Chain A
Amino acid sequence: MRYLLRRLVESLVTVMLILTVTFFLFRVIPGDPARILIRGPGITRDVIEHYERLFGLDKPLIVQFGLFVRETFRGNLGISFAYKTPVLELLFERMGNTLVLLVPATLISILLGLFLGVLAAWKRGRPLDFALQVISLGFWSIPTFWLGMIMIMLLGRTFSTGGMVTAGAAHGSIWAYLADLGKHMFLPALTLVLIMHGQYFMIMRSQLAEELTEPYTRTAKAKGMRPARILRSHVVPNAMLPITTLIALNLATLVAGFITIETVFSWPGIGKLVYRAILMRDYPVLQGILIFLSLSIVLANFLADILYTVLDPRIRYR
């Protein structure tokens, strides 16, 4: 409990630091400081005045920061220049679409990466290990969007691309809808899995390599246990603990992949929103997404810590 409490406090400090960095980034960098966020093209005078009052833009920076934190915690992330709707609404609208693609792709990547990692660690130094390392690192080295472009070129006719479902199609039943969704999802998800599994492979392989030098492995070997069994019942379970933390810590690295893959496949999620926001200089949306994604990652890390205490009783009594 003490451990979780400490992690909770640390997470809250992290949240405050993230808000501080974001606030000063958007206000201290040269340009039209502060007002950059509310002076979009086509925003009416009333809206500007409302926001000037709300964020106290005539007050000192420190007061503005206080108001910014208050409004953020109230869920007010400002108004999008391009869509003229509150940023939070836009994010909630798009988040579902991103999760539909990202969650299955990430889970499959993790499972595939861990499985191949165990295989490589077991056959360490043999041709299979060598081949797996080249393949995983090779895919890891590819820019996601480029692989996506190749996928569209090679398989774009077999599978549907562009959007989540065929535009304007009337789906008779939920099953027809899901079938159409699956057909659109296959290529972007496959691209993400191919690129993302590499990092999980490397985490698993090096973690296992470390566990294999521990004395308990030697003991198991001395007892005459078969290598496959040592891996399955001793080494892999032990390695899983640090791996949950590492996977949560690496969440931030997924973001680049899904932003560009949504752009390539016109998937109407948060990534596509980022792309549009860059093109339209929609700063409130960029700021909102930065805060939103950072806080999601902090939350995921905290959840991973809770999971860790459940999995590892040693932590609970610390």
Chain B
Amino acid sequence: MAEIREAFRTSPFGKAGLVIVGIFAVLAIIGPYIAPYDPWKTADQLEDILAPPSWRHPLGTDELGRDILSQVIYGTRITLIIGLSAAAIAVVVGTVVGVTAGYLGGPVDAVLMRFTDSFLSMPFIVLAIVIVSLMGRSLGNIILAIGLVQWTQAARITRSQTLSIKERVFVLRARALGAGPLYIMRRHILPNVLPLVFANMTLVTSLAILSEAFLSFLGLGDPTKFSWGIIIRYAFETGAVSIGAWWYFLPAGICIMLVVLGFSFISNTLDEALNPKLRRGQVVI
């Protein structure tokens, strides 16, 4: 813990990441209370259709006269929910696979790791596209699809960490005292891999937010919700690019970029604090 605190104290990236993610987290919680309009409310007057930013609509309106700023604010919550839940599924699956493979070793390890490697060769976005288009475009299916294609990294990381922990004296001692594999994995291995799992989860969250944007853009987003990806999708469908309606898709994209950047800053800082390889030995030139 001390190393992590120190890393965030000294790294400008780490601090920036925490601030960015913090701001969006607050926005996700209080968003619906501060949004100026109901994001689904269509315009009463014709001049509010695809209107550029004005005092009444700070970020303009879409082709139905709906307020873009309110859509982006509502989208914060949905996007963060998708990103974090998908990442949670991914690291849980990955940790179970990785710790099991690493601790049991032998044929179990060989089979699980071959499976993990095969997954790495499959273009994860196409896999997610297939899952969502077969199962239907709902929030839950999108989360599940992204979670199920992003678990490989966590599996590899926890496996290699487990391999080194299981040879430590306290694990050998527990085994000598008759502790079963499930008990050792839960009580001794898991607490020691959790920091790495957590660091990986921040990275997977940023990947998941990007994946959601890709899926939504390709028309696989949940049509009953506003996520940032969906807003850009609607803008693309409406032809906002050719009519120059920049206010329609610029804000959502900037939000995606900031949040993804924020999470990857945090992940990099955690990596530097936790990865002994990066700390070991001085760099001479």
Contact between chains at A141 and B260 (CB < 8 Å): yes
Indicate whether B283 reaches chain A with its CB closer than 8 angstroms: yes
Whether B253 sits at the interface, judged by CB under 8 Å, is yes
Give A145 to B218 CA distance when docked, in angstroms.
10
Q: Mark A206-237, 1 if CB is under 8 A from B, else 0.
A: 10011011000110010000010011000000
B92 CB contacts on chain A under 8 angstroms: none
Q: Which residues of B contact A230 (CB under 8 A)?
A: 285
Q: Are B13 and A14 in contact (CB under 8 A)?
A: no
Interface contact B218-A141, CB-CB below 8 Å: no
A274 touches which of B115, B126, B258 (Cβ 8 Å): B126
Chain A residues with a Cβ closer than 8 Å to the other chain, count: 64
Chain A contact surface mostly: helix
Q: Does B265 contact A (CB under 8 A)?
A: yes
A227→B86 CA distance, assembly (Å): 44
Cα of A290 to Cα of B250 in the assembled complex, Å: 31
A230-B285, A256-B214 are contacts. A146–B277 as well, Cβ < 8 Å? no
Measured CA separation A147–B254 after assembly (Å)? 10
Shortest Cβ distance from A318 into chain B, in angstroms?
19
Nearest CB of B to A200, in Å = 15
Using known A-B contacts A29-B134, A278-B219, determine if residue A256 contacts B260 with beta carbons closer than 8 Å: no
State which size class the interface on B falls in.
35 or more
Mark contacts of B117-150 with chain A using CB atoms, 8 A cut-off: 1 yes-contact digit, 0 otherwise. 1111111111101110111000000000000000
Among B30-38, B47-55, B205-213, the one that faces the other chain is B205-213
Q: Which of A60-68, A96-104, A132-140, A308-316 contacts B (4 or more CB under 8 A)?
A: A132-140
Q: Do residues A18 and B118 form an inter-chain contact, with CB atoms below 8 A?
A: yes
Q: Evaluate contact between A255 and B217: CB separation under 8 angstroms.
A: no
Binds B, one of A70-78, A79-87, A169-177, A292-300: A292-300
**How many angstroms from the CA of A138 to the CA of B115 in the assembled complex?**
33
Bound: A152/B243 CA distance, A: 11
Footprint of A on B, CB under 8 Å? 12-13, 114-115, 117-127, 129-131, 133-135, 206, 210-211, 213-214, 217-220, 229, 232, 235-236, 240-242, 244, 246, 249-250, 253, 256-258, 260-261, 264-265, 277-278, 280-285
Report the 9 A-B pairs with minimum CB-CB distance, sorted nearest first: A255-B123, A141-B260, A146-B253, A17-B118, A256-B125, A213-B281, A141-B261, A227-B285, A14-B118
**Residues on A facing B (Cβ under 8 Å):** 10, 13-14, 17-18, 21, 25-26, 29-31, 36, 124, 130, 133, 137-138, 140-143, 145-147, 149-150, 152-153, 156, 206, 209-210, 212-213, 217-218, 221, 227, 230-231, 249, 252-253, 255-256, 259-260, 263-264, 274-275, 278-279, 281, 283, 286-287, 289-290, 293-294, 297-298, 301
